[in-house]
Amino acid sequence: MKLGIAVVYLVKEGDEGLLDLHLSQIARCTHVPYTCYAAVNRLAPHLRARLARAPRTRIVDIRTTAQRGTEEHAYYLEWLVKTAVQDGVTHVATLHIDSFPVRDGWAEDLASRLTGKCVLAAVTREEVGDLKPHPSLMFFHRDFYLASKPSFLLGRSCRSSPEYRRYRAEYGAAEDTGIGYGFDIFRQELSWYRLLRTNRVEDHYAMAGIYGDLVFHLGAATRGHQVFYSDAIPAGTSQTMRSVLRFGRRCLSALPQAWQDRIIRGAFPAHQVNAAIQVDIKKKLLADPDAYIRRLRTGLPEATPEPVLRGGDLASPSAR
């Protein structure tokens, strides 16, 4: 296996420790040949220099886009994946700046899931009602990419098709990065391996998640607000109201990102609660990453002196 890991490095001021943890966990848990393909267009110069010094990391020169939010993230990921495949990788993984593997053999485990019609393994945020592949971890073979040419987002004409409406009705997927891969798999009647949340301990229903006992995702680390899909569209919301809220989101996306964030923070009280919890999670995570992740994975006290982040202690979850 030759693995390409695609990451868009948007790092908030003060989150240098999160960047270092992300890089160290990739190096610690990945034992196949790999290269991190990095988009750094809006990364602060001192963090770009830090990333440039990281082993097995290639900064990819990509023309800067004026887009923000989901569109910006998808734009850079498209270029990173294309570059990795052109470089000859056999497998591609996507990660976020606030996601990273937590167990040895994670890449080999995911590669073993890609058999027959199963062409993708990915985090699935079932806890917020988003049932598409999520790019905090997506993993696929180059052959799928070359054969299908999937995109992370979809154009307007595709979103208006009857087939896409059937997909949304069945899966309720959020229209953000990764939905194009989910729709392509649906359209071709293929399948994918879902990495569901496996936490033994929860500090938040949507943040600090362990998925498939393979990857950690903090959640919302780079956003200007901490409002999640289920905060905006809670369970039980009627289809009519969902359509209204989705239309409002599309209208909002035409505004500058700072305005979007300000409006969302004001409209949803959950932001303040979630933001305070995220601060506490980051403090615990960065103070002792091994202990904190062990607690989430196993439910054992953080002070328990036993080996963590190694593949032999816990069995991989079965496909769900």
Domains of the chain as residue ranges with CATH = 3-298 (3.90.550)
Residue 267 has pLDDT above 70, yes or no: no
Q: Hunting for tokens 């990419």 — which residue is that?
A: 145
Closest CA to 78 of 157, 223, 178: 178
260 or 39: which carries more pLDDT confidence? Answer: 39
Assign 268 a pLDDT band (cuts: 50, 70, 90): low
Place of tokens 């602060």: 44
User: Residue 55: which pLDDT band, with cuts at 50, 70 and 90?
Assistant: very high
Higher pLDDT, 24 or 278: 24
Question: In the predicted model, what is the mean pLDDT of the chain?
Answer: 84
pLDDT at 306: 45
CA proximity to 207, closest of 133, 259, 285: 285
Characterize the bridge pairing of strands 118-125 and 130-141: antiparallel
Please compute the mean of the pLDDT values over residues 59-74 and round it to a whole number: 93
